[in-house]
Amino acid sequence: MMENPESRPACDKGPRQCRDGDKPADTAPPPALPVWARLPINRCNLPAQILGSLTFQASPSPLFLDGVHDLHRDFFRMLGWLDDAPARRQTFHDYMRLCFRLDALEEAGLAAGQAHGRGRMDYLRLLRGWHFNADGIEGAVLKAWVESRFGLLPRHHRAPIRDFSGEPYRLYLEQRATGLYNTNALESQLDLVYSWTQLELARRHPQASHCLLYRGINRWEAHEILGSRRGEHGSETLMLLNNLSAFSADPERAGEFGDRVVRARVPLAKILCSAEVLPGQLQGEGEALVIGGVYALQRL
């Protein structure tokens, strides 16, 4: 029904016109990503304050790393021609070996005769290292990559990181530097791992924006809990997760890694890699490495 302009009051600043009645008075805004958990800049299309928020978990949008698709446009175009998932995966590994000279590191600057050490580190060794110890050198490199690309600071590395002048953060910086020293564009390799994973997930699940994943948690009280709320499926805990965490598609598998199991609707845009697209590289058949921020978690 159209409104008659002549029936409007001369002034629209009365209490009935100015009241804010679209939200209940007791509705609190969702907790924001704390300033101490993020950097002011990053290297993707959304700032950390947005991509690390609870709002992003509920309504995600695609994340693109600066320059990756432009630099590797021919590779991504070639993937579009392949309908077979194993063929795409093999093409990805072949491209990584060719692009970063992983089978001929001397051509990429590794000194001939140098002892095999950090110079031999590549994306596959990083993922295998996370499998054995997420708080080791490989874990520090992966967390550092998330920090650099998405602007999310690590919140745990062997111990909770609450003081950036404290020992846990100093150890993280030391292991990050050790892991990246004398390697062949290791962070750029991870750029491609993430970008390829995102394209592969979008191709396999074209209508999906989230997946349901589980995580086992020990020492619940030591985690950064920002509040709670009543969700669609019951009570939810609002928690700031580490900037990179492992989740599983199997709740029983997740229960092997913690005395409490939580469930989360994880945006596909926040999956660095998963066993679905890189089988044999992670701990289990349904494991995924998930980029952190504020999440609503439901305890099982």
Q: Is residue 274 predicted with pLDDT exceeding 80?
A: yes
* Spatial contact of 244 and 289, defined as CB atoms under 8 Å apart: yes
Contact 237, 225 (CB under 8 A): yes
What is the separation of C-alpha 69 from the centre of its chain, rounded to a whole number of angstroms?
A: 18
| Mean pLDDT for all residues in the chain | 88
Q: Which of 82-86, 153-157, 278-282 has the lowest mean pLDDT?
A: 278-282
Name the most confidently modeled range: 28-32, 81-85, 103-107: 81-85
pLDDT at 63: 98
Q: Is the pLDDT of residue 6 over 50?
A: no
Give tens-digit pLDDT for 99-150. 998 887 666 555 655 555 556 789 999 999 998 899 999 999 999 999 999 9
Phi-psi region of 128 (alpha: psi -120 to 50; beta: other; left: phi over 0): alpha
What mean pLDDT comes out for the span 156-172?
95
Report the pLDDT value the prediction gives residue 280, as an integer from 0 to 100: 80
Q: Residue 107 has what pLDDT? A: 61
pLDDT at 24 over 60: no
Q: Please report the pLDDT score of residue 83 as a whole number.
A: 95
Please give the pLDDT value at position 2.
37
**Highest-pLDDT range among 114-118, 193-197, 283-287:** 193-197
